Amino acid sequence: MRISLYRYDPDADAAPRMENLELDIPGVGDLMVLDLLERLKAIDPSIAYRRSCREGVCGSDGVNMNGRNGLACTTPVSEVARRGKLTLRPLPGLPVIRDLVVDMTQFYRQYEKIKPFLQNEDPPPARERLQTPEDREKLNGLYECILCACCSTSCPSFWWNPEKFVGPAGLLQAYRFLADSRDTATEERLAELEDPFSVFRCRGIMNCVSACPKGLNPTRAIGKIRTMLVERGI
């Protein structure tokens, strides 16, 4: 197995470089990419990447594998390696801190911008707020996002305008609250999204959809937000 690994330590390297490594393990194809990284790190502890749950729910280990964004822990090596070769790079478009670790500040800032919390100023009842199963159903495919950034960092619009285009992940969450029958801030939320950048930079090329490791569909959510904006405008 040949691995080409993106290396960069700001203290030691003037510029990023690709390191070529060989790993000789029988059945390496059955491993996840994260297992592979762990083996490499046992040999060279200076390799840096994030990881935690190793089961695809914490969203730490989004990386670019042979040109495809995904989670290292749920992507089998056999699925991404081409002719025994695997190139691992950090998620594109965000500043690199070290090796596969990117600076996610910009990504989180966009998430925070859409006010990702339920807003409802009515005094809550003594028990839970009721919600019909049908209304709850509308949140499926939205609330499951793990903030891994695989989608936003595969989106050219987010590369070009990371400060102003909210990006697929943020917009998916924006719609998660717009769609929640318990949220009453629809008007304010839409007003914040009306400018030419926040939502309208999406060109619907669906890179996000093919990148999302949780099988979510940000493009559809963006379409729904647009529809809501147009309906509100009329």
Window 189-218: residues binding another protein (CB under 8 A): 194-201
Among 1, 58, 80, 206, binds another protein (CB under 8 A): 58
**Residue 218 binding ligand SF4, by CB under 6 A:** yes
Would you say 145 or 179 has its CB closer to ligand SF4? 145
- For 210, the token pair is 């093919």
Binding partner selected for residue 211 from another protein, ligand SF4, none, CB under the kind-specific 5 to 8 Å limit:
ligand SF4
Cα 197 to Cα 103, 112, 135, 156, 205: the distances in Å are: 22, 16, 29, 13, 16
- For 82, the token pair is 């081409």
Binding mask 35-74 for ligand SF4 (x = CB under 6 A): ----------------------------------------
Q: Do the beta carbons of residue 11 and residue 43 sit within 8 Å?
A: no
Within 8 A by CB and 6+ apart from 45, the residues are none
Q: Do the beta carbons of residue 189 and residue 114 sit within 8 Å?
A: yes
The conformation of residue 74, written as its DSSP 8-state character, comes to T
Contacts of ligand SF4 in 3-32 (CB under 6 A): none
What is the C-alpha separation between 104 and 97, in angstroms, rounded?
A: 10
Alpha carbon 186 to chain centroid, angstroms: 24
Contacts of another protein in 87-106 (CB under 8 A): 90, 92, 95-99, 101, 103-104
Among 28, 104, 172, 222, binds ligand SF4 (CB under 6 A): 172
| Residue 34, CA atoms < 13 Å, CB-side half-sphere | 18
**Residue 169 binding ligand SF4, by CB under 6 A:** yes
Binding partner selected for residue 26 from ligand SF4, another protein, none, CB under the kind-specific 5 to 8 Å limit:
none
- Which residues of the shown chain bind ligand SF4 in the complex (CB under 6 A)? 145-151, 168-169, 172, 211-212, 214, 216, 218
